[in-house]
């Protein structure tokens, strides 16, 4: 039995250089807020990481706020935009990550925020004509929250078009970019999103650390009360070793982006071509089978087996040493199925099992061939 990890959209293997940097950082035990030499040493590391990220994104260092990950960043941005910026209407979609959908549901229930869901096409992409209609509907202060890369389908949003629509209609724009930072380049002057969220563990960094991009002078105040850390935007002692690990992962991601992107695109193309050849009737959900319109890091596909047989699929893959996902990792064990697939698939289509396979630089074509062989055996027996 092989061990094949194809669940990189859930989390990625940490790079060896990241582990080494974090081990070094653990010996720098000063509090970054302390003024003595021990504290100043840690503070220098935190600010170096902030400047590194800002430089690669063509942003200002003050716009990068370190958090515990994407969920905290999404929550902070959405909640504080309502509290501090007078947002009365949030326009989003029903296939966002639960860090967004559950937050806006709570804001609607407890803060009387008007939440509107933009229409989706049959592939799960937002209808931008409908979005424009919603933006022009009334004069209330609006915030649009649409993810750049869907974590289950891999669909890529036309983020530049959404930026323009929001700017033309005086609306704020927040994008969950957890699946895209570290995999796509960013220039915040050319793509003027107001707010973004990122998590280090999606690009071979440590878990438990990420950042929020908050455009300067927006007026957001801290969600967590306490000290004046993170330029007064996020109280709490900075997780120095995690921030150093994030910086190293971020640098590696962008220093090696073109080479690693080309390699992973090759894996995805190989997987799509071979699975279509070996398993007739396989279908790709959303746009994940389209290299141009989806992220190069994942595919979400539906197998031609009945509902009863489908119950054993993940167990079968697991005992063969293959790790993948039936939905996002955040939903595992919920028993409710994927809220994303429930939105775009018919009742009959939902009876067939859907799997998300997500790739990284650490995967090989041999691993993909083994996986497809296991799937073929399961479908045919």
pLDDT digits (tens, 9 = 90+) for 242-255: 999 999 999 999 99
Which tens digits make up the pLDDT trace of 316-332?
999 999 999 985 444 44
Laid out side by side, the sheet with 210-214 consists of: 64-67, 210-214, 195-199, 172-176, 142-145, 89-92, 114-117
- Which sign, positive or negative, has the C-alpha torsion 230, 231, 237, 243? positive
Q: Count other Cβ atoms within 10 Å, centred on residue 6.
A: 25
- Report d(CA 378, CA 174) in Å as an integer: 42
Query: Does position 336 have pLDDT exceeding 90, yes or no?
Result: no
Which residues are known catalytic residues? 330
CB 356 within 8 A of CB 325: yes
Mean pLDDT of the chain: 95
Asked whether the predicted pLDDT for residue 185 surpasses 50, the reply is yes
Span 127-137, pLDDT tens digits:
999 999 999 99
Q: Tell me, what's the pLDDT at 331?
A: 46
| 356 vs 354: CA distance, rounded Å | 7
Domains of the chain: 4-12+257-380 (3.90.1150.10), 16-255 (3.40.640.10)
In this predicted model, what pLDDT tens digit does every residue of 57-83 receive, in sequence order? 999 999 999 999 999 999 999 999 999
d(CA 242, CA 208): 7
State the pLDDT at residue 327. Answer: 59
Helix (H, G, I), strand (E, B) or coil at 299: strand
**262-277, pLDDT tens digit by residue?**
999 999 999 999 999 9
Paired strand residues for 195: 174, 214
pLDDT for 32 equals 93
* Percentage of the chain exceeding pLDDT 90: 91
Enter the tokens of residue 127: 């209808």
Inter-residue contact 77 to 212 (CB < 8 Å): yes
Q: What is the pTM of this model?
A: 0.94
Which parts of the chain fold into alpha helices (H)?
16-25, 37-57, 70-85, 98-111, 128-135, 159-168, 240-255, 257-278, 307-310, 313-319, 339-344, 347-350, 365-380
C-beta atoms surrounding 269 within 10 Å: 12
Read off the pLDDT band of 333 (50, 70, 90).
Answer: very low
| pLDDT confidence of residue 337 | 82
Q: What is the mean pLDDT of residues 226-233?
A: 89
Is residue 200 within 8 Å of 207, Cβ to Cβ?
Answer: yes
Phi, psi (deg, nearest 5) at residue 196 = -145, 160
Contact 91, 118 (CB under 8 A): yes
pLDDT for residue 6 is more than 90: yes
Please give the pLDDT value at position 335: 54
């Amino acid at each position: 039995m092989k061990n094949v990890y194809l669940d990189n959209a859930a989390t990625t293997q940490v790079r060896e250089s990241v582990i080494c940097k974090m081990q070094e950082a653990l010996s720098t035990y000063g509090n970054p807020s302390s003024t003595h030499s021990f504290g100043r040493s840690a503070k220098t590391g935190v600010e170096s990481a902030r400047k590194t990220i800002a430089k690669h994104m063509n942003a200002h260092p003050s716009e990068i706020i370190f958090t515990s990950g994407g969920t905290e960043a999404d929550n902070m941005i959405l909640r504080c935009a309502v509290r501090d910026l007078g947002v009365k209407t949030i326009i989003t979609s029903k296939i966002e990550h639960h860090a967004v959908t559950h937050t806006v549901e709570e804001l609607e229930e407890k803060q009387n925020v008007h939440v509107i869901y933009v229409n989706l096409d049959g592939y799960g992409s937002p209808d931008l004509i409908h979005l424009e209609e919603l933006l022009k509907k009334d004069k209330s202060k609006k915030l649009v929250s649409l993810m750049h890369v869907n974590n289950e389908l891999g669909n890529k949003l036309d983020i530049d078009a959404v930026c323009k629509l929001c700017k033309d209609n005086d609306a704020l724009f927040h994008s969950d970019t957890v699946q895209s930072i570290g995999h796509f380049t960013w220039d915040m002057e050319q793509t003027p999103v107001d707010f973004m969220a990122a998590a280090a563990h999606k690009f071979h960094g440590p878990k438990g650390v990420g950042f929020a991009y908050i455009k300067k002078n927006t007026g957001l105040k801290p969600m967590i009360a306490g000290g004046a850390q993170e330029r007064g935007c996020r109280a709490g002692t900075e997780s120095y070793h995690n921030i150093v690990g994030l910086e190293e992962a971020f640098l590696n991601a962008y220093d090696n982006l073109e080479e690693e992107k080309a390699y992973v695109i090759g894996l995805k193309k190989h997987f799509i071509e071979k699975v279509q050849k070996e398993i007739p009737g396989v279908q790709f959900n959303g746009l994940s089978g389209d290299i141009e319109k989806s992220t190069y890091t994942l595919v979400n596909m539906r197998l031609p087996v009945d509902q009863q047989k489908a119950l054993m699929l993940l167990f079968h893959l697991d005992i063969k040493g293959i790790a993948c996902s039936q939905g996002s990792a955040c939903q595992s064990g919920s028993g409710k199925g994927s809220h994303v697939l429930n939105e775009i698939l018919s009742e009959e289509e939902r009876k067939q099992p859907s799997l998300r396979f997500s790739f990284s630089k650490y995967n090989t074509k041999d691993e993909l061939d083994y996986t497809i062989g296991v799937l073929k055996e399961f479908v045919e027996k």
